C-alpha cells in the first residue's frame, strides 16, 4: 500500500512538472525577442563587442543581436576582426538596448558629427543604452549623459571626461546605472555590466547561471573596480 502511494505521488509530480514546462515553453515562444543593437566603427575593441555578445547571444529565446555601423558594410578593427553590418539609418524599430563599444577608434569618432547625431537619435528611441570602455566618450559627446552618473576605462579616463564635462564621472565604479543608461569600465567590464543588466531584468540567480554557463568569474560589485582612475 505504501509503495503504491509513493508511486502515485511520483506520477502526479512528474505530470505536474511536465505541464509547467510546457506552459513556460509556450509563454517563452509567444514572447517577441528583444533586439540588442551593437554599434561598430573602425578600430572598435574586440571584447567590448563580443564579450556582451556572448552573454546576450546565449539567450536565443529572449534576445536577437544585430550589428550596425554608420554606413553599413564590413567594419574591421585593429585585431583584424571583420563584421558585416547594417546601416544605422536602416533600424526600423526602436532597439531594446543599444550598445556602444570603445576602442582606439573612439578617438576619431568623437569628432564625427554625423555619427554622434545618429548615436543620440538611436539612444533617445532605445529602451536601454549601454557603453563599454571609451564608448562612454561617444555617448557623452551627445550630451545625453549630462548630469548623469557614468564611468569609463580608467586608463583613458582623463581623455574620456573631456568629452563630457557635465557628466558625473565615477572614478571607482566597475559599471554605473543611471535610469536607462549603463556605462562600464574598460574592456572586460562590459561583460560584468551585461550580466548586471541581466540581473536587473531577470534576477540575480538568472545572471549567475549565465556566468556559470560560460565559466566566467563575474565581478558582481558594480561600485568597486580593480582599476581606478587617479
Q: Which residue has the higher pLDDT, 229 or 154?
A: 154
pLDDT band at 4, cuts 50/70/90?
A: very low
Query: Is the pLDDT assigned to residue 181 strictly greater than 80?
Result: yes
Spatial distance between the Cα atoms of 101 and 186, rounded to a whole number of angstroms: 10
pTM (two decimals)? 0.86
pLDDT in tens, 8-33: 434 334 334 443 433 443 344 446 89
Name every residue whose Cβ is closer than 8 Å to that of residue 174 and which is 6 or more positions away in sequence.
Answer: 151, 184, 185, 189, 192, 193, 219, 221, 222, 223, 224, 225, 226
pLDDT at 31 (0 to 100): 67
Domains of the chain: 34-214 (3.40.50.880)
pLDDT in tens, 190-215: 999 999 999 999 999 999 999 999 99
Query: Helices marked H in the chain — which ranges?
Result: 2-29, 46-57, 106-109, 113-125, 135-141, 157-160, 189-202, 204-213
Query: Is the pLDDT assigned to residue 171 strictly greater than 60?
Result: yes
pLDDT band at 93, cuts 50/70/90?
A: confident
C-alpha cell at position 70 = 554608420
The cell 536601454 sits on which residue? 128
Mean pLDDT value across the chain: 89
Amino acid at each position: 500500500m505504501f509503495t503504491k502511494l509513493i508511486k502515485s505521488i511520483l506520477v502526479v509530480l512528474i505530470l505536474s512538472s511536465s505541464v509547467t514546462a510546457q506552459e513556460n515553453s509556450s509563454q517563452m515562444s509567444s514572447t517577441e525577442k528583444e533586439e540588442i543593437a551593437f554599434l561598430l566603427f573602425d578600430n572598435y575593441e574586440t571584447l567590448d563587442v563580443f564579450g556582451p555578445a556572448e552573454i546576450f547571444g546565449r539567450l536565443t529565446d529572449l534576445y536577437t543581436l544585430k550589428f550596425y555601423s554608420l554606413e553599413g558594410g564590413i567594419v574591421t578593427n585593429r585585431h583584424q576582426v571583420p563584421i558585416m553590418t547594417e546601416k544605422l539609418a536602416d533600424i526600423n524599430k526602436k532597439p531594446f538596448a543599444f550598445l556602444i563599444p570603445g576602442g582606439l577608434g573612439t578617438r576619431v569618432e568623437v569628432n564625427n558629427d554625423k555619427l554622434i547625431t545618429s548615436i543620440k537619435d538611436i539612444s533617445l528611441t532605445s529602451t536601454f543604452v549601454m557603453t563599454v570602455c571609451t564608448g562612454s566618450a561617444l555617448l557623452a559627446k551627445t550630451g545625453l549623459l549630462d548630469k548623469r552618473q557614468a564611468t569609463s576605462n580608467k586608463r583613458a579616463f582623463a581623455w574620456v571626461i573631456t568629452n563630457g564635462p557635465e557628466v558625473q564621472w565615477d572614478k571607482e565604479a566597475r559599471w554605473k546605472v543611471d535610469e536607462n543608461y549603463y556605462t562600464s569600465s574598460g574592456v572586460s567590464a562590459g561583460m560584468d555590466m551585461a550580466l548586471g543588466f541581466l540581473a536587473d531584468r531577470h534576477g540575480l540567480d538568472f545572471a549567475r547561471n549565465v556566468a556559470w554557463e560560460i565559466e566566467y568569474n563575474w565581478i558582481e560589485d558594480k561600485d568597486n573596480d580593480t582599476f581606478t582612475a587617479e
